[in-house]
Structure 1
Amino acid sequence: MPTVTVIQPTLTEEKTAKIRCAAYCRVSSDSEDQLNSFMAQTRYYSQLFEDSKAEELIDIYADEGITGTREDKRGEFQRMMKDCRRGKIDRIYTKSISRFARNTKDCLKNVRELKSLGITIFFEKENIDTAKMTDEMMITIMGGLAQEESTSISQNLRWGIKKRMENGTIKMCTPLFGYDLVNGELALNSQEAEIVRQVFDCYLNGSGTAKIAKTLNSLNVQRKGKPCHWTAGTVKLMLTNEKYIGDQLFQKKYTTDTLPFRQMLNKGEREQYYYSQRHEPIISREDFDKVQKILNEHKKSFKGIKDSRIFSKKLYCGECGSTFKFKCGNNKNYWVCRLHDTESDRCSNKQISEVNVISAFIRLYNKLYFNYKEILLPLHTALQNLKLRKFSGQAQVMEVRKEIAKLREQSHVLARLKTKGFLDEAKYIEQIAGLTVKINKLQTELKKLTRSDDEDETLDQIEMLIDFFEKQDDPITKFEESEFESIVDKIVVINQHELEFHLIGGLKFKEKI
């Protein structure tokens, strides 16, 4: 009889990995009570996972004193979502849906994205776990209630402000140049008031707004503690402000009724409230009316000139980084660096004609139209190969890919068995459904392992560029704004003779003017 020798194991079995959890908390104001709530939430989540054997706390994401109605205003929330996309988190804990979002659309969008990444959320107050598919309807309802609550609070606040406007008890929140704020009312600041009078006198004596702004900057005139930077626009706002004659017009802007709340210029959509002789004036009504007459005459002199905005927030100065602003003169449109326009000694980049920018774009567009296969396709292939080489050596990635390949092969085998009559329809559907669930789960895991936000975005945008030019029938002979918006991210004005076009995907091309 053979002798049996038992060889003891040398490796211990790996412990089951803990679920990586994150906590998100938020308070909606900077008041002391809310800050206490903020600290309590942070302390609560820190202690919650201390003794847990199945879960571990990765990080606490906490937005303090920030609105819940606007997702883009919450920096910590955005950081959490980014970490989720990078595969750092498996589960999120939050106090309630109203803490997570007060906008139903954003709430559901984020929940669905997280679910697609295999990440679940537990809302403690509502006892809702997104790991259960049936809870999505409950999330919709509760998200709607949270949104309604936020809208109701906003409407109540606006109603109170409106009533104070109607009965004349509204108080100022911030003073304007020339005044100080005393108990919610404007009180004359003698030093600043004298500067206001000089600005009005200069304009009445023929000086333009740009020249006045340059003078104020040279004299280092501070604007309520802000850095000294006067522009033609800020001077014009001063010249048109009725508060300098002792009057006040309320509700020049209004907030929209629906989420996300936005401030809009009131062009007649809402009531306005005009108070006469509310505080001590700086400028006489006679001089103020003369200034308004001159401003209106200037406005009429530009009537008929095309007010172009096609390159708004698209043109940047290559010397100082400022944006370019639109101007017109002698029936011509041109763009000029904002810093050069106010302080030419700080930036030497001069104005450029809009016609020249348009011509440069048309030339660049047509070059890409005829040569995109030689430029964009090889670049896209090289980036894909680089990404594949980066991740191909990772053992875990390779194992997941092999497992996906095996499951797909099983799917093909089942399909062949069904075709030959060895497997009935019901059994085939049942087994294929099981394989599909496994494949989807592995693909989610693979996406987490190989995800690189910047590389993926660059590849996607280059694919968009290729797709864009493949769909074009002919080169262009005139400027088309839709084509420009589709492919150009921004334009850097190197000087009066050269532009650098920054296309989507991070591509840069220089073009002579």
Structure 2
Amino acid sequence: MLIQIRAPIIRQVFEKVAYEQWSGRKLYHWLKFEIHFTTRYGKPLALSNIYRMLQRPFYHGVYEYPEESGHWYTGKHKPIITKELFDKVQEQLNRDQIVRENREFAFTKMITCGLCGSGVTAQEKYKKQKNGNVHRYIYYGCTWAKDLNCKCGYLREDALIESLINLIDKIDLNELGLKNKFHDEVMRYNRFQRNVLKRPGNEKSESDIDLRVYAKYILKEGSMVEKRELLSCLRSRLIFKDKALTLEKAENIDSRTA
């Protein structure tokens, strides 16, 4: 049977998820570009097909008929994997889903890939140093939603922030769209000086504070919410391309990726 010929690769797919915590996208690239594994019709497996494969009990010897009927049968085919391996993969898939739903990053959904027009997502990496310390890094890259073969690459969060700071120096202040928020912040500061610290003489006017300096401070020291609010004020779209950020009018990229 064809399924038995393909069985060693299918088994590896399950093992890489269960024991090496591979993601669906990593499996996709491995199957397509490294071992050139295809469907029976000679086409690369789509990402959705990979996830469907990982969730099919058929591979450990049982099947449901009709689907979603609750009636399960033991197949006559030889199982490719054990029930234990299948269950371990389901646990990993569920864990990955929970992590994706609960983990938040400062700049996701705020930036567009300049090559394919997909969104930009983030992932954490941990690197152990020679002295034993473990450092956490956040990398941003294309989601591949519109092109699974996009070569946009990745940019570490600290480099992304520096790229944003460089943009702040170059753009027109009106582009920041921050004046209302900036006014509210100055008023809040003055209320704090008057009512809490009882120092009315220390109040500031908006002309005392540089809007660019304020924006840079938010990027470097602000909370995740403050950073997202800052970027949401921009009147143009942030584009990630060639490991740098640029500003582009929304209609320009829409016409390019349509």
What is the TM-score with the length of structure 2 in the denominator? 0.51
1:316 aligns with 2:130: no
* 1:317 and 1:323 in contact (8 A); partners too: no
**Match of 1:326?**
122
Unaligned runs of 5+ in 2: 127-135, 184-210, 219-225, 254-258
- Report how far residue 316 of structure 1 moved: 0.7
* 1:490 and 1:503 in contact (8 A); partners too: yes
Pair 1:351–1:229, CA change in 2 (3 A):
farther
Secondary structure, counterpart of 1:335 in structure 2: strand
1:473 aligns with 2:182: yes
Secondary structure, counterpart of 2:248 in structure 1: strand
1:494 aligns with 2:245: no
* 1:309 and 1:326 in contact (8 A); partners too: no
Instruction: Output one character per residue of 1:157-190: Cα deviation in whole Å (capped at 9) or x when no partner.
Output: xxxxxxxxxxxxxxxxxxxxx9xxxxxxxxx855
Secondary structure, counterpart of 2:84 in structure 1: helix
**Residues 260-279 of structure 1: matches in 2 within 5 Å?**
274-277=70-73
Alpha-carbon distance between aligned partners in 2 of 1:362 and 1:227, rounded to the nearest angstrom: 44
1:214 aligns with 2:19: no
Residue type of the alignment partner of 2:232:
E
* 2:110 and 2:228 in contact (8 A); partners too: no
1:352 aligns with 2:130: no
**Residues 35-434 of structure 1: matches in 2 within 5 Å?**
189-192=3-6, 195-203=9-17, 206=20, 208-209=22-23, 212-217=27-32, 218-223=34-39, 225=41, 227-228=43-44, 235=50, 238-245=53-60, 246-248=62-64, 274-277=70-73, 282-293=80-91, 306-308=103-105, 310-312=107-109, 314-318=111-115, 323-330=119-126, 331-337=136-142, 347=151, 349-361=152-164, 364-365=167-168, 368=171, 370=173, 372=174
Instruction: Output one character per residue of 1:48-99: Cα deviation in whole Å (capped at 9) or x when no partner.
Output: xxxxxxxxxxxxxxxxxxxxxxxxxxxxxxxxxxxxxxxxxxxxxxxxxxxx
Whichever of the two has the greater Rg, that structure is 1
Work out the percentage of aligned pairs sharing the same amino acid.
17
Residue type of the alignment partner of 1:308:
F
Pair 1:224–1:323, CA change in 2 (3 A):
farther
* 2:110 and 2:231 in contact (8 A); partners too: no
- Report how far residue 282 of structure 1 moved: 4.7
Alpha-carbon distance between aligned partners in 2 of 1:211 and 1:298, rounded to the nearest angstrom: 13
Would you say how many aligned residue pairs link Structure 1 and Structure 2? 197
- Report how far residue 288 of structure 1 moved: 1.0
- Report how far residue 504 of structure 1 moved: 4.3
- Report how far residue 228 of structure 1 moved: 2.1
What is the TM-score with the length of structure 1 in the denominator? 0.30
Unaligned runs of 5+ in 1: 1-177, 179-187, 252-271, 373-464, 508-513
Superposition RMSD on alpha carbons, in Å?
A: 4.7
Alpha-carbon distance between aligned partners in 1 of 2:66 and 2:159, rounded to the nearest angstrom: 43
- Report how far residue 351 of structure 1 moved: 1.4
Alpha-carbon distance between aligned partners in 2 of 1:208 and 1:202, rounded to the nearest angstrom: 6
Pair 1:315–1:483, CA change in 2 (3 A):
same
- Report how far residue 352 of structure 1 moved: 0.7
- Report how far residue 196 of structure 1 moved: 2.2
Pair 1:369–1:501, CA change in 2 (3 A):
closer
